[in-house]
C-alpha cells in the first residue's frame, strides 16, 4: 500500500510516530509493555486512543500501554513499516487495520491469529450487527475487532451556496445531483470539490453504489462478478459526468472540504471524518456551524445504505506479549472502550448497545442509520477489496482522470476484479 495514490482518510496528518520497542520489556515496577501500533496521531483520534489507553491501564495494572503510532493519512506509512516488522518476525503486539478485505494479505501470509475464540468469550456476535460480522468473516473465521464505524457515503454541502443556486434540498438521486451541479455551475461557484486521487476513487465507490443499488454493488466483490455489465457501464458514465463538474483537485480531502465550508464550492463527497474537521474548534478544525455553514445527506442514490469502513485491531502471530494484546482487544471491543474512543474520534461504535447520549448532531444521525440501514463495504477504505486489488483500482482511476475513457476504465476494473476476487 506504500504506493497507493495519496493519503486516505480515517487518520490525522500531524504528529510523529513512535518507533516500537520490545513490547515484552518490563518497565519500572515490573510492568509489561503492550505495543499498540496504529496511525492515530491527529486531533481527535489521538485523544480517543488516549481515552482507551486510560481504561486499559486501569483494568490491567500489570501492563503499560506503549503507543507505537506512525503518522500519515490512512496508514500507508504505518503499513509500510508494519510490513517490514512482520517480515522480520518482530510484530507489534497488536496493530490497527481496516476491517474486511484489507486484512486478507496478512491472513494469507499467516501473520494473524483467528479471533473467533474472543468473539465467543465476549459474545461479540450478539452486540455487533450480523451484517458486520458477516462482512468481516473470512471462511467462517474473524481476524480483527472493530472499534468504530465510519460512513463513506456522505454528501457534504454548503446550504447558502445551494440556496443561491436555487437548489431547495440535497439531491437524493444521481439525476437530481447532476441537475444541481449544473445549477451551481451557472452561478459561477465550484459545483463539486475533490482532493488528491484517492478521493476520486472514494467518489467512484459512491457513484457505483448510487447507480447500482446495494445488492448489485455488494455482488461486484464476489467471485465471478460481471464488471463488464451494462449496469456498471452506466455507473461509470455517471461517474464521468459528475467528475466533469469538479473543480481543480486539491492536495487532499481537507482543503477540498474547506472549499465547501468557505462557500467556494457547493458539494463534496467524503467520509464522515469530515464532520470533525468542519465542526471542531479552529485548533483542530474549521469551527463551522452545522446546518448553517455545512450540512449533510446520504450521497445521491444511496439513502438507506451505510457504506461503511471500520478501524479494527488484530492479534499478530508471534506477538511478544500475547496476553497483553488480548487484554487490549477486550478494551477495544468493550462498550466502555468504544464509548470513550468514538465521540473524540468523530465516529460511532461498532457495538449496538452504545450510550446514545454521547453521540449528538451528525453522530446521532449516523448512529440511527447504522442501526437500521443496509450495509455495503467501502472500496477505498479496505472493506470490499484487498490491498493489491485497491492498488489496481487506484491505478485505473488515475489513468481515467487523465484520459476520461470510460471503456478503458471498465476494462481495467474488470481485469482487476478477475485477478483479485476470491
C-alpha pair distances (Å), 203 with each of 90, 196, 198, 208, 317: 37, 11, 9, 9, 36
Domain contains 3:
no
Q: Is 103 left (phi over 0), alpha (psi -120 to 50) or beta?
A: alpha
Domain contains 56:
yes
Q: What is the mean pLDDT of residues 396-403?
A: 97
Angle at the Cα of 284 from the Cα atoms of 280 and 287, rounded to 5 degrees:
40
Q: What is the mean pLDDT of residues 202-214?
A: 98
Q: Residue written as cell 465516529?
A: 347
Domain contains 343:
yes
Q: Are residues 197 and 136 in the same domain?
A: no
List, in sequence order, every beta strand (DSSP E) within 270-317. 295-298, 305-309, 311-313
Reply yes or no on whether the pLDDT at 181 is more than 90: yes
Q: Is 304 left (phi over 0), alpha (psi -120 to 50) or beta?
A: left
Domain contains 57:
yes
Q: What are phi and psi of 109, to 5 degrees?
A: -75, -5
CATH number where 55 lies: 3.40.190.10
Q: Is 344 within 8 Å of 51 (Cβ atoms)?
A: yes
Q: Are residues 295 and 224 in the same domain?
A: yes
Q: Are residues 301 and 328 in the same domain?
A: no
Q: Are residues 187 and 159 in the same domain?
A: yes
Domain contains 17:
no
Mean of all residue pLDDT scores within the chain:
91
Q: Are residues 101 and 129 in the same domain?
A: yes
pLDDT for 346 equals: 86
How far is the C-alpha of 274 from the C-alpha of 71, rounded, in Å? Answer: 18
How far is the C-alpha of 113 from the C-alpha of 82, rounded, in Å? Answer: 16
Q: Is 356 within 8 Å of 379 (Cβ atoms)?
A: no
How far is the C-alpha of 310 from the C-alpha of 317, rounded, in Å? Answer: 22
Q: How do residues 266-305 score in pLDDT, each as one tens digit?
A: 999 999 999 989 988 887 789 999 999 999 999 999 999 9
Q: Residue written as cell 457513484?
A: 207
DSSP secondary structure letters along 46-64:
HHHHHHHHHHHHHH-TTEE
Domain contains 5:
no
How far is the C-alpha of 96 from the C-alpha of 67, rounded, in Å? Answer: 12
Q: Are residues 136 and 262 in the same domain?
A: no
Lowest-confidence pick of 62-71, 129-138, 178-187, 411-420: 129-138
Hey, what's the cell of 216? 448489485
DSSP secondary structure letters along 310-361:
-EEE--BTT-TTHHHHHHHHHHHHSHHHHHHHHHHHT-B-SSSS--GGG--T
Number of domains the chain contains: 2
Domain contains 26:
no
- Side-chain-side CA neighbours of 199 within 13 Å: the count stands at 27
Q: Are residues 254 and 349 in the same domain?
A: no
pLDDT for 375 equals: 93
Reply yes or no on whether the pLDDT at 350 is more than 70: yes
Q: Are residues 170 and 299 in the same domain?
A: yes
Domain contains 4:
no
Q: How do residues 148-163 score in pLDDT, each as one tens digit?
A: 999 999 999 999 999 9
How far is the C-alpha of 106 from the C-alpha of 401, rounded, in Å? Answer: 31
Q: Is 399 within 8 Å of 202 (Cβ atoms)?
A: no
Hey, what's the cell of 34? 503492550
Nearest to residue 381, comparing CAs of 192, 205, 236? 205
Q: Are residues 266 and 394 in the same domain?
A: yes
DSSP secondary structure letters along 122-169:
HTHHHHS-HHHHHHHEETTEE--EE--BEES-EEEE-HHHHHHTT--S
Angle at the Cα of 249 from the Cα atoms of 246 and 251, rounded to 5 degrees:
150
pTM above 0.75, yes or no: yes
Strand-pair partners of 268: 156
Q: Are residues 204 and 221 in the same domain?
A: yes
Q: Which domain holds residue 163?
A: 151-307+382-420
How far is the C-alpha of 181 from the C-alpha of 161, rounded, in Å? Answer: 11
Q: Is the dihedral of CA 95, 99, 105, 110 positive or negative?
A: positive
Q: What is the mean pLDDT of residues 337-354?
A: 93
pLDDT for 13 equals: 35
Reply yes or no on whether the pLDDT at 195 is more than 50: yes
Reply yes or no on whether the pLDDT at 321 is more than 70: yes
Q: Are residues 277 and 166 in the same domain?
A: yes
Q: Are residues 255 and 203 in the same domain?
A: yes
- The 3-state DSSP class for residue 295 equals strand
Q: Is 136 within 8 Å of 119 (Cβ atoms)?
A: no
Amino acid at each position: 500500500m506504500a504506493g497507493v495514490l495519496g493519503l486516505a482518510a480515517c487518520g490525522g496528518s500531524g504528529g510523529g510516530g513512535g518507533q516500537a520497542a520490545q513490547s515484552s520489556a518490563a518497565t519500572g515496577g515490573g510492568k509489561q509493555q503492550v505495543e499498540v501500533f496504529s496511525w492515530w496521531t491527529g486531533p481527535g483520534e489521538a485523544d480517543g486512543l488516549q481515552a482507551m489507553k486510560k481504561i486499559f491501564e486501569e483494568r490491567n495494572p500489570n501492563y503499560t500501554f506503549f503507543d507505537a503510532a506512525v503518522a500519515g493519512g490512512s496508514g500507508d506509512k504505518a503499513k509500510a513499516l508494519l510490513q517490514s516488522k512482520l517480515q522480520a518476525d518482530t510484530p507489534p503486539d497488536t496493530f490497527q487495520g481496516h476491517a474486511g478485505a484489507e486484512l486478507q494479505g496478512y491472513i494469507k501470509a499467516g501473520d494473524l491469529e483467528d479471533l473467533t475464540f474472543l468473539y465467543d468469550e465476549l459474545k461479540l456476535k450478539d452486540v455487533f450487527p450480523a451484517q458486520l460480522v458477516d462482512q468481516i468473516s473470512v471462511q467462517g473465521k474473524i481476524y480483527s475487532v472493530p472499534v468504530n464505524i465510519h460512513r463513506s457515503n456522505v454528501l457534504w454541502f454548503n446550504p447558502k451556496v445551494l440556496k443561491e443556486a436555487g437548489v431547495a434540498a440535497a439531491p437524493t438521486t444521481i439525476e437530481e445531483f447532476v441537475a444541481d451541479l449544473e445549477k451551481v455551475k451557472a452561478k459561477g461557484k465550484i459545483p463539486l470539490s475533490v482532493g488528491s486521487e484517492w478521493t476520486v476513487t472514494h467518489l467512484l465507490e459512491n457513484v457505483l453504489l448510487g447507480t447500482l443499488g446495494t445488492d448489485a454493488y455488494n455482488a461486484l466483490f464476489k467471485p465471478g462478478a460481471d464488471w463488464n455489465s451494462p449496469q456498471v457501464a452506466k455507473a461509470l458514465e455517471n461517474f464521468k459526468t459528475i467528475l466533469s463538474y469538479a473543480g481543480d483537485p486539491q492536495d487532499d480531502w481537507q482543503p477540498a472540504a474547506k472549499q465547501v465550508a468557505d462557500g467556494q464550492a457547493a458539494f463534496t463527497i467524503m467520509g464522515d471524518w469530515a464532520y470533525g474537521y468542519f465542526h471542531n474548534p479552529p485548533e483542530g478544525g474549521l469551527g463551522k456551524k452545522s446546518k448553517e455553514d455545512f450540512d449533510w445527506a446520504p450521497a445521491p442514490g444511496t439513502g438507506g445504505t451505510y457504506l461503511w469502513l471500520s478501524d479494527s485491531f488484530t492479534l499478530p502471530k508471534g506477538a511478544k506479549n500475547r496476553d497483553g494484546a488480548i487484554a487490549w482487544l477486550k478494551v477495544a471491543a468493550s462498550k466502555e472502550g468504544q464509548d470513550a474512543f468514538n465521540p473524540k474520534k468523530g465516529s460511532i461504535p461498532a457495538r449496538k448497545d452504545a450510550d446514545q447520549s454521547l453521540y449528538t448532531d451528525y453522530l446521532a444521525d449516523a448512529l440511527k442509520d447504522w442501526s437500521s440501514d443496509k450495509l455495503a463495504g467501502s472500496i477505498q477504505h479496505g472493506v470490499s477489496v484487498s490491498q493489491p486489488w485497491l492498488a489496481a483500482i487506484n491505478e485505473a482511476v488515475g489513468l481515467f482522470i487523465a484520459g476520461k475513457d470510460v471503456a478503458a476504465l471498465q476494462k481495467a476494473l474488470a481485469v482487476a476484479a478477475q485477478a483479485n476476487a476470491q
